[in-house]
Copies of this chain bind each other. A is one copy, B any other.
Amino acid sequence: MYAPDVTVPERLIDAATRLFADKGFDRVAVQEIVQSAGVTKGAMYHYFGSKDDLLHEIYGRVLRMQTERLEKVSADSAPIADRLHAAATDVIVTSVENFDAAKVFFRSIDSLAEETRREVRAERRRYHEKFRSLIEEGQSAGVFRADVPADLTTHYFFGSVHHLGTWYRTDGPVSARQLADYYADLLLASVTKA
């Protein structure tokens, strides 16, 4: 089932990602994960302190990746509207490219243990703020409308993104690219001054 050179932790992360995406953290038993990864429970607890740790790791990978990419896009010198468009596009494309991990990211934060949750929320807030600051930059530049708070628009957009997990099919008629363009267009249309 697995190439012999895929490490046990990697196999566990893969299996957990698939299962969490499919059924949600709370509906997946550790037993299922290890079975699916072809290892024993003991092996899992050798590498991960808890089931929660597994989720945390998946969560962290997605968050780190998207934060990195957003920073790169933000730092670009293109006009602000282009940069916002690129940022919006990018988050969608990468979410779809790692759709299982993204689904976990989109819906499982409440399953994290108290402490981990706080930690993760803080990092997610930083991501949110970085995105928001793009919108604010456009507002300051007079390119984006300022009558709707940038904070609210950011929530609005990311709500749409998080919802992808519940309806979008990677094997459906809309490609990731198209989807990204549509979403970015809708966002741009809603923030651009009339």
Contact = CB atoms under 8 A, between A and B. Distances in A.
A179 B155 CA distance: 12
The 7 closest A-B pairs by CB, nearest first: A159-B163, A159-B160, A26-B26, A190-B190, A186-B190, A189-B190, A156-B160
Interface of A: 23-24, 26-27, 107, 109-111, 145, 147-149, 152-153, 155-164, 166-168, 174, 179, 182-183, 185-187, 189-192, 194
Contacts of A26: 24, 26-27
Nearest to A145: B189
Given A186-B148, A190-B186, A164 B153 contact: no
A182 B149 contact: yes
